[in-house]
Amino acid sequence: MKGSSGRGPRRVVALCPSNAELALRLGAADRLVGVDRWSLRDPRLRLPKGLVDVGTDLRADVETIAALKPDLVLASLSVPGMEANVEAFRARGIPHVVVPSGRLADIRRAVWVVAEALGDDEARSRAERIVAGMDAACEEVRARAAAWRRAGFAARTAVWEWWPKPIVVAGQAGWPEDLMACLGLRNAFSDLERESGPVEAQLVAERAPDVVFAAWCGTGERRMTVAEIAGRPGWGRVPAVRERRVFLLPENPFGRPSPGLADGLRRLADLLFGPPDVSRRVMLEFAEEAGLGPDALAWPEGGARGRNADAAAPPRAGAGGGAVRGSA
């Protein structure tokens, strides 16, 4: 998208943290004039000072955005309800692009959509490197997973949990499907033909996942605990609980359709396949990044694999000689 001067856009607004991250990664920090509230509250984005708060990603302040006179708004449809923002931009004639999200292929495409919208060679050059890095991460992790499979790594299926009540799991149309595949795991809910959806706790238990990844979104992030998940009725027989393969993940990067997922994927591989000290370090880093309390990684008393386990206890090897560790 070109501005009125024929150059690339010079006044950019980013709605949602993943779009703000893309703008930064593509070298557009000096062009940002406003971002959503959640981006402003994330110190890890390292945004320039003085950016205007333009509301939330679900309820953008269209009047404030219009007053900034942007020549590009990076919008999103990654969460139901965001379409109201896009409709408002169209009605007001505010220049915008909808950044793709969904599977990893869509996120690769998003990098190029934003780079082309920024309209300069530096952004395109950075996009090439970013996409190449994402591809390299997946290939690297696939190779590690294959090596551990040959060594006897027994875990086969996984569940990716976005929310606890009701339990919302990732389906086949979102990036967790690809992250799990790179790790050599099959999504236990790949038959769900959406990005995510609610399921009964009993159904999760019946599908007997070998691994549970919990990445509760928004206000749920800081409330995650292993005990709540492992202590659900009937879950004591679930392989992920029995073998202590319940992992608590921070929303950044795992809840964002952005290139940061590549680094997150490598860290998941360290968690699953790394030596005990590396696995433990990653667990603790994830807990700190999610803002979890000191007991978040503790297993329920009398739970699987012993009593009163906590994050300081040695990680346990996975069944079949694999190196999978759990949250204790």
How much is the pLDDT for 319?
Answer: 32
- Interatomic CA distance for residues 172 and 178, integer angstroms: 9
- Interatomic CA distance for residues 117 and 137, integer angstroms: 26
How much is the pLDDT for 238?
Answer: 97
- Fold of the 12-99 domain: Rossmann fold (3.40.50)
pLDDT digits 0-9 by tens, 271-322:
999 999 999 999 999 999 999 988 999 998 755 443 223 443 333 333 333 3
**Upstream peptide bond of 166 is cis (omega within 30 degrees of 0):** yes
Q: What angle do CA 50, 55, 57 make, to 5 degrees?
A: 115
CB atoms within 10 A of CB 91: 9
Q: What angle do CA 82, 83, 85 make, to 5 degrees?
A: 70
Low-confidence ranges of the chain (pLDDT < 50): 1-6, 304-328
- Interatomic CA distance for residues 155 and 136, integer angstroms: 23
CB neighbour list of residue 283: distance below 8 Å, 6 or more residues apart: 247, 248, 271, 297, 311, 315, 325, 327
Tokens of 194: 């959406």
List strand residue ranges (DSSP E) for 246-300, in order: 246-248
Its pTM stands at 0.87
Query: Do the domains 12-99 and 140-321 sit in the same CATH topology, yes or no?
Result: yes
pLDDT digits 0-9 by tens, 117-132:
999 999 999 999 999 9
Share of the chain above pLDDT 90, in %: 80
- Interatomic CA distance for residues 8 and 123, integer angstroms: 10
- Asked if residue 208 lies in contact with residue 239, where contact means CB atoms within 8 angstroms, the answer is yes
- Asked if residue 76 lies in contact with residue 18, where contact means CB atoms within 8 angstroms, the answer is yes
How much is the pLDDT for 308?
Answer: 29
Burial class (CB in 10 A: 0-12, 13-18, 19+), 93: exposed
Domain regions of the chain by residue span: 12-99, 140-321
Q: What is the CATH number of domain 140-321?
A: 3.40.50.1980
